Amino acid sequence: MKAFIGMGLLGSNFVKAMLQKGETLHVWNRTTEKATALEAYGAKAFDNVNQAVQDADVIHVTLKDDATVNEVLEKASEGFKLGATIIDHTTTSAKGAIERTASWKSKGFTYLHAPVFMGPQNAFESSGFMLVSGDQQAIEKMEAHLSKMTGKLLNFGPEEGKAAGIKLTGNLFLLSLTAGLSDALALAKAQGIKAEEILNLFSSWNPGAAAPARLKKISEGKFNEPSWELNMARKDAGLMLSAAKEAGASLAIIPAIANVMDQWIAKGHGSDDWSVIAKDSI
């Protein structure tokens, strides 16, 4: 029997998918109604988290943050079965994941941090990506079970907390991507261009497809082989800022990027590839 703590959009859809695969599940959520709603799908809901985890060999967790995970697991531990495995899908700090791994190990339990790049629909369809790192024996033991929950299970090796750090890094890119799209739409609007027209452009010209190659170029440090010189990129950034200013539009990230470009130009890198602005990050 397995238990699942945290019935938000992600957790509840994980539960529905697991029930469809024939799992027996106990569920708990601070807002009791979210847990009891899953009884219609075959789960058994509990008012108290320590009751929900009793007799569970595996306890899944999808909560808010480090503090919430620590608080809820501490309350739940009154009902933990000795030797139980805790699998935490919450996006947390790497430090928190490392500390919990050691803490629960000292108490006789396995804590495995397994964050995901999955939306609610992915959780229901068992698609997307799940990340793990740490004790390779523990991961091997749980691999078959975790693989059923996701399209791909990515193992980043024995270092505790690495999966947490990689998940945060990926989320940072998603935030930056959305902020970049916001700036693009704001600039388009300032020039009388409809969002649908930008979507049509991106449907044919997909700049996201270039991300792996761009990252490879940055990591290799080949900035003296420019495909777009920093001076020219800064010129374009200036055009963007001017067009937005004239229309009274607000840009979120381009002003910051232009500022970084100016710093690297001042260092003498104007003729290098514009990606040189990432040099200090590698």
Extract the tokens encoding 134. Answer: 């740490």
- CATH domain 2-160 topology: Rossmann fold (3.40.50)
- Cα–Cα dist 169/175, whole Å: 10
How high is the pLDDT of residue 222? 87
Q: What is the pLDDT of residues 133-167, one digit of tens each?
A: 999 999 999 999 999 999 999 999 999 999 999 99
Largest separation between any pair of C-alpha atoms in the chain: 66
Alpha helices in 64-161 (DSSP H): 66-76, 94-106, 120-125, 136-147
Residue ranges of the chain assigned to CATH 3.40.50.720: 2-160
- The yes/no answer on whether domain 175-281 falls in CATH 3.40.50.2300 is no
Alpha helices in 79-229 (DSSP H): 94-106, 120-125, 136-147, 162-190, 195-204, 211-220
C-alpha of 201 from chain center = 27
- In this structure, the strands spanning 2-5 and 25-28 are parallel
Q: Which residues belong to CATH 1.10.1040.10 in the chain?
A: 175-281
With a cut of 50, list the residues of the chain below it in pLDDT: none
In degrees, rounded to 5, the angle at the alpha carbon of residue 22 between the alpha carbons of residues 18 and 64 is 20
Whole-number pLDDT of residue 282:
87
pLDDT at residue 204, rounded to an integer: 95
pTM, full prediction: 0.92
Rounded-to-integer distance, Cα 120 and Cα 178, Å: 19
Cα gap 271→126, rounded to integer Å: 47
